[in-house]
Structure 1
Amino acid sequence: MKNEKNISILKEMAESVRICMFTTFSTKDEFGSRPMGTAKIEDDGTIWFFTNEYSLKSKEVSKDNSVLLVYSDPSKNTYLTVKGDAELVDDRVRKESYFSPFIKAWFPDGIDDPRLILIKVVPHTAEYWDSSSSKIVVLFSTLKALVTGSTPDLGKHDTMSF
Structure 2
Amino acid sequence: MTHHDQLETVTKIMRDTRIAVLTYVSREGTLVSTPMGTQDFEHPGTTWFLTEASSEKVQALAADPRVNVSYSSDAGWVSLSGTAHVEQNRGKVEDLWDASAGAFMSGGPEDPDNIALRIDATSAEYWESPGKVSAAVQLVKGLVTDQQPDLGDSGTIGL
SS at match of 2:143: helix
Aligned equivalent of 1:39: 39
CA distance in 2 between counterparts of 1:91 and 1:101 reads 19
Are 1:29 and 2:26 matched, yes or no?
Answer: no
Identify the residue that residue 48 of structure 2 maps to in structure 1. 48
Q: Which runs of 4+ in 1 moved over 6 A?
A: none
Q: How many residues align?
A: 158
Distance of aligned partners of 1:82 and 1:53 in 2 relative to their CA distance in 1, 3 Å threshold: same
Structure 2 distance, partners of 1:62, 1:155, is: 38
CA distance in 2 between counterparts of 1:93 and 1:114 reads: 12
The answer as to whether partners of 1:71 and 1:80 remain within 8 angstroms in 2 is yes
Verify: 1:128 aligned to 2:130, yes or no. Answer: no
SS in 1 for 2:109: helix
Structure 1 residues not aligned, in runs of 5+: none
Residues 150/20 of structure 1: CA separation in 2 closer, same or farther (3 Å cut):
same
Q: Partner amino acid for 1:60?
A: A
Inter-CA distance 3–157: structure 2 relative to 1 (3 Å threshold)? closer
For 2:54 and 2:143, the matched residues in 1 are separated by 52
8 Å contact from structure 1 (residues 6, 161) kept in 2: no
Q: Could you say if the C-alpha distance between residues 80 and 54 of structure 1 is closer, same or farther in structure 2, counting changes exceeding 3 Å?
A: same
Map 1:6-155 onto structure 2 (within 5 A). 6-43=6-43, 45-73=45-73, 76=74, 78-133=76-131, 135-155=132-152
CA RMSD of aligned residues (A): 1.7
Write the distance in 2 (CA, Å) between the matches of 1:44 and 1:81. 11
1:107–1:113: 8 Å Cα contact kept in structure 2?
no
Residue 131 of structure 1 and its aligned partner are, at CA, apart by 1.7
> Equivalents in 2 of 1:46, 1:3: separation in Å?
17
Confirm or deny: 8 A CA contact 2:20 2:70 kept in the other structure. yes
1:40-87 CA deviation, whole Å, 9 max, x = no partner? Answer: 0024731000000010110111010000011112xx151110000001
Gaps of 5+ in 2: none
Using the size of structure 2 for normalisation, the TM-score is: 0.91
Q: TM-score, normalised on structure 1?
A: 0.89
